[in-house]
Amino acid sequence: EDKVVQSPLSLVVHEGDTVTLNCSYEVTNFRSLLWYKQEKKAPTFLFMLTSSGIEKKSGRLSSILDKKELSSILNITATQTGDSAIYLCAVTGTNAGKSTFGDGTTLTVKP
Amino acid sequence: DVKVTQSSRYLVKRTGEKVFLECVQDMDHENMFWYRQDPGLGLRLIYFSYDVKMKEKGDIPEGYSVSREKKERFSLILESASTNQTSMYLCASSRDGNQPQHFGDGTRLSIL
């Protein structure tokens, strides 16, 4: 059974801090790892990492996939209050149509 | 932009009722999914569908069924609602298994 573990479960920081969120996984025939951000409503897609694309960056957010360690990190630099959200990690394996999600990391950024 | 629309934002039903949650996507996506989200438990997959009239059980299908008669619509059915099905329900769609999922805003369902 596929498994995704995220850490920490919650995190409180102040504006301007840099944070690193962790995701480790066990999956049969790894295809991709995805990061989503969930504020009040629907999760929204951030990054997809695959064997052919192990680093992604968008503005202050970046993510790296470590296939050897079966893990990924999501970095957010110069955090803002608008970064407060639940960050979800998901992996896709043998059954390509299906993703397994972790429990999420709740990030709170204080002014 | 892909739009995934869930029919209700909030819903209150009674124990034993048959409950229908509807989801519609407008981008001709092959795959559609139903999840429930509970505090501390993340997103858990209930059912998914990769084609019209096709369905596969997810991790927690007990007490639920689904229907996909048209490509754009995926319905979740609680056959006889129970209080432990009180939760946030999220619908999602994706073009195929190698693409990210697009989520609806969720239905917060309370079973009294």
Which residues in B lie closer than 8 A to residue A32 (C-beta atoms)? 98
> B105, A31: Cβ pair inside 8 Å?
no
Q: What is the pLDDT of residues A58-102, one digit of tens each?
A: 999 999 999 889 999 999 999 999 999 999 999 998 765 788 999
Pairing mode of beta strands B10-13, B4-6: unpaired
The residue of A2, A45, A88 whose CB has the most chain B CBs within 10 angstroms, and thus the best one to mutate to test that interface, is A45
Please name the member of B31, B100, B105 whose beta carbon is closest to the beta carbon of A34. Answer: B100
Tell me what pLDDT residue A29 has: 87
Q: What is the pLDDT of residues B65-101, one digit of tens each?
A: 999 999 999 999 999 999 999 999 999 999 887 789 9
